[in-house]
Amino acid sequence: MTERPAALRGLPLLEDLGPLEGKRVLVRTDFNVPLENTPSGRVIADDMRIRATLPTLQWLQSQGASVVCCSHLGRPKGEVVDEFSMAPVAARVAELVPGVEVMENLRFDPRETANDPTLVAELIRGFDAYVNDAFGVSHRAHASVVGPPAFLPSAAGRLLEKEVEVLGSLLLTPRRPFVAIVGGAKVVDKLGVLKALSQKADAIIVGGGMAFTFLAAQGRQVGGSLLDATRLDDCRELLQGPAEILLPSDVVALEPGASFGPGKHDGEVRTFSGDLDEGWMGLDVGPDSTKRFAAAISAAGTVLWNGPMGVFEDPRFERGTRELGEAVAASNATSVVGGGDSARAVDEFGLADRISFLSTGGGASLEFLEFGDLPALAALRHAINAPEE
């Protein structure tokens, strides 16, 4: 028997479920797909998350199992909300994998997010096995995520298995140099993963709004850019190493009082090298920064990207994110892109097929990289059929 990668040891996989002929299997999926309104009703705008689960669902059916999926959709906050009905999802699943059923939205019931054991008992009633193929919610200690493995033979689905294997390899055995790219708006949201990556990566490229707190920690004037003055000491600590922190040397900024975002066109845009003038808001990394970052990426053996370099939804501030994405796609590195905004940027710029692995988890990816584990994975490792580590 082939030895499992270190990241998967102790985690039950589909093959650990035993014979499934004639058995009913409950599969926790992440069918939280985007919906849009049309004259004929609510329809799915992008079915990628449904298609990502097909290998698991089709394998279970091939083993003779009856398959029922459960998922959340949107944030109905424990109430039945028609716009978050799973009906469009169930219809699409029926087209892609006939015979697979889909339960109604788990989060119509407040007991789901409360991890209520009474809901767990109701969910598993009549089922012989449980599969978690919802990496995107595996950082949530919700009833459908952590409850069933305590009572049923359980396993990670193919999607969850791949996520853990790929992200686990980043933590355990990355090809060197390992370059992490971390962007986004708020530094507080990424401090934990930055501290974890500083112990693993050789270099960390920091962009997006969060970069300005790092620049301020170096004594730079950041004008009206996003700044979290309560995190300056944390940034100074990270700048001391052990990983090299690469920050923007120039910034594309918008004049005071102007607006930005999709469809916005007002205000002067200027590139600053060094300090920003008072009131000017940095909204993208500049061309010199992009060249420096691209050089680091081209020399990397492994690249992890989570978070855009700027407000790429506004064409005036998309260049940094687009050119960085092109550098990742052109590199010979093993490239992993995680996080909703990063994945969306890669898709919009037509780069997805040149990325080694697109993670389906935003917050889940970050928590796994920070802590090396997730509540759902811990629950699976304690299932009655879990292999010995």
- Give the residue numbers annotated as catalytic, written as ranges: 49, 186, 340, 363
357 bridge partner residues:
336
User: Which pair of tokens denotes residue 245?
Assistant: 């922190």
CA dihedral (387, 158, 347, 101) positive or negative: negative
Q: How far is CA 239 from CA 158, 216, 349, in A?
A: 38, 12, 31
Separation between Cα atoms, residue 60 and residue 344, nearest integer Å: 30
Which pair of structure tokens corresponds to residue 162?
């791949």
CB 245 within 8 A of CB 206: yes
Q: Which residues contact residue 122 at a Cβ distance below 8 angstroms, ignoring those fewer than 6 apart?
A: none
Distances (CA, A) of 376 to 6, 21, 260, 262, 292: 18, 26, 39, 37, 39
The answer for residues whose C-beta is within 8 angstroms of residue 90's C-beta and 6 or more apart is: 101, 102
Question: Which segments within 13-153 are labelled E, that is strand?
Answer: 24-28, 35-38, 41-44, 66-70, 101-102, 129-132
DSSP-derived letter for residue 128 is S
Q: Residue 182: helix, strand or coil by DSSP?
A: strand
